[in-house]
Amino acid sequence: MLRKVILIGLCATVLIGCNMEQKEVNNESAAKAVILQGHRGCRGELPENTIEAFLRAVDAGVSTLEMDVVLTGDRDVLVSHDPWMSQEIMAMPDGSKIDPATQHELNIFEMTTDSCQTYICGSKRHNSFPDQQSVKSFKPTLRQVVEAVRDHCRKKKLPVPSFDIEVKSTLAWEGKYHPAPESYASVFLREFLTLSIAHMSTVQSFDHRILNSIHKQYPELDLIYLAERERSISEMLSMLDFKPYGISLDYKLWTDQKVKECKDRGLHMTAWTVNAEADMSALLKLGVYDIITDYPTQMVQALKKQGIQVYNRATSTEESL
């Protein structure tokens, strides 16, 4: 009988310990607001990088709108993941399909903005996102996105979210899909700085060359180095001529060691692209509180269900964020 009582007591102690540990994790997450970014707006819900997707993400309550930009032939900053008209998500101006064999010839860097916007985005549903709603839209300029978001927020009395802008650049594309880094940075900044969003934006890229060029021309801007393959934080930083604001990794690459190194160096940490609640919870437990997702509506609800606040730039007093 005594043995049974002891065993029951031990089990209860273990259970209480587990519950306390989980409660501590939940309390830690609740105490620090989570930055939630709508990936390309809300790619799981509406066609990517469209004004409709960005406004849906705003309504969902995201902290930040994440988007990609490229340059047009008339040197405008266009919101697009690819520097060509991808057959995966785009259609010809007359609605016909784009030939996969020739899609790369539909080079945005050789088109005017007006010409780019005759191509149809959103009528073709993305194969990887079966629940994505179809809309007939177009590739907007960065200015059009910012103006649409500001107008939407003003009308609905919502706070304007932050912007996380990825400049698409690679050595392989240089000279064909975009100019050399110095020129690219100059053209991007010339438009970006007229929008008065530098104080509420981060700019990121996988290409360390464009980040170095942007920093050289406008060192006040918060820049983030993107990485999708396994490397140490030190190796990533060695590519840059400056200390970046932060590091953004494929969510599967974040480890305790990388988190510790970033914290020791005072670097902001971002994880992409997180579409499962369990993965998000694991990242929060690691200490990564900036989450990019294709499903902002779902993730906002998941966080609220756990009693975790979504960071709001307009109302937050947390200086660290």
User: What is the rounded CA–CA span in Å between residue 309 and residue 312?
Assistant: 9
- Say if CB 65 and CB 35 are below 8 A apart: no
DSSP 50: S
Beta bridge partners of 224: 204, 246
What domains can be seen in the chain, in order of their start residue? 27-83+139-305 (3.20.20.190)
Nearest to 109 by CA among 54, 183, 165: 183
- Say if CB 258 and CB 286 are below 8 A apart: no
User: What is the rounded CA–CA span in Å between residue 254 and residue 275?
Assistant: 15
pTM here? 0.89
Per-residue model confidence as pLDDT tens for the chain (321 residues): 444 444 444 444 444 444 444 444 444 544 589 999 999 999 999 999 999 999 999 999 999 999 999 999 999 999 999 999 999 999 999 999 999 999 999 999 999 999 999 999 998 878 899 999 999 999 999 999 999 999 999 999 999 999 999 999 999 999 999 999 999 999 999 999 999 999 999 999 999 999 999 999 999 999 999 999 999 999 999 999 999 999 999 999 999 999 999 999 999 999 999 999 999 999 999 999 999 999 999 999 999 999 999 998 776 544 333
What residues contact residue 182 under an 8 Å CB cut-off, 6+ apart? 213
- Say if CB 124 and CB 89 are below 8 A apart: yes
